[in-house]
Amino acid sequence: MFNIIMEGMLALFISFSVRTAKIEPNPLDYQLAFGVENKYFESDFEYERENGLMYLNLINKITPHERVSLSQKYIGARKIDSQTLTLKQPFKHGHSVFLALNAQAWTDARILIGYQLNLKEFGKVELSSNFSDRTIIDLKLKKPFLIAENYGLYLEPLLVYSLINDKVFWQAKVRLKIDFKTLLSRKTEEVRETNDGELQEQGN
């Protein structure tokens, strides 16, 4: 029962990112976001300077280890409703391959195939590409850092390099997260250590 509660614990996060502007000759675009996540889902609101719009993102992690996940992005003002179904097969030593099916309002589907590797020094490295008339190649680097264990506080930088129809786009993002699972685990460990110390003193 305790493990089920721990797996369902939420994490709160805020993030800031800058990226190549999609509309020329605009300067660099930036995005602000805040949201919640746990083992089973992730949801956030994003504000984009370039378009002055709020994005609503929702990711359902349907199976453990995100082997099957469904993400949806909705922007009411621009009538954008996109979905991505991802199937992932993990292997030993942090390797995994995945196939993503992206659609707009459940139509005009595109297939994306990728490879993911978890490296201790560099974090998560992901390379993906598609097979269609709109060539897309993505390279992502992401590594979380536990900066304050007593508060379950993480700093998660992300770097994305994209090549879309021979045009380069990049994004640099940093996310600050408070993970209540880490926080509760730490507090539980402190209580256990205190109780063990008291029992040892009584035994002496």
CATH classification number, 2-196, choose in 1.10.10.10, 3.30.70.3040, 3.40.50.2300, 2.40.160.40:
2.40.160.40
Binning pLDDT at 50, 70 and 90, where does residue 38 land?
Answer: confident
Flag the least confident range among 11-25, 124-138, 150-164, 185-199: 185-199
Return the ∠ at Cα 72 (arms to 170 and 11), rounded to 5°.
Answer: 80
Mean pLDDT of 184-200: 67
pLDDT digits (tens, 9 = 90+) for 105-140: 767 778 889 999 888 777 889 999 886 666 778 899
Mean pLDDT of 86-94: 85
- pLDDT exceeds cutoff 60 at 70: yes
The whole-number pLDDT of residue 153 equals 93
The whole-number pLDDT of residue 193 equals 65
- pLDDT exceeds cutoff 90 at 156: yes
- pLDDT exceeds cutoff 90 at 164: no
Please state, in angstroms and rounded to a whole number, the distance separating the CA atoms of residues 51 and 19. Answer: 13
- pLDDT exceeds cutoff 80 at 91: yes
Q: What is the mean pLDDT of the chain?
A: 79
Q: With beta carbons less than 8 A apart as the criterion, state whether 177 and 156 touch.
A: yes
Mean pLDDT of 157-163: 92
The whole-number pLDDT of residue 37 equals 87
Binning pLDDT at 50, 70 and 90, where does residue 201 land?
Answer: low
User: Which residues, in sequence order, are bridge partners of residue 123?
Assistant: 119
Residue 165: left if φ>0, alpha if ψ -120 to 50, beta else—which one? Answer: left
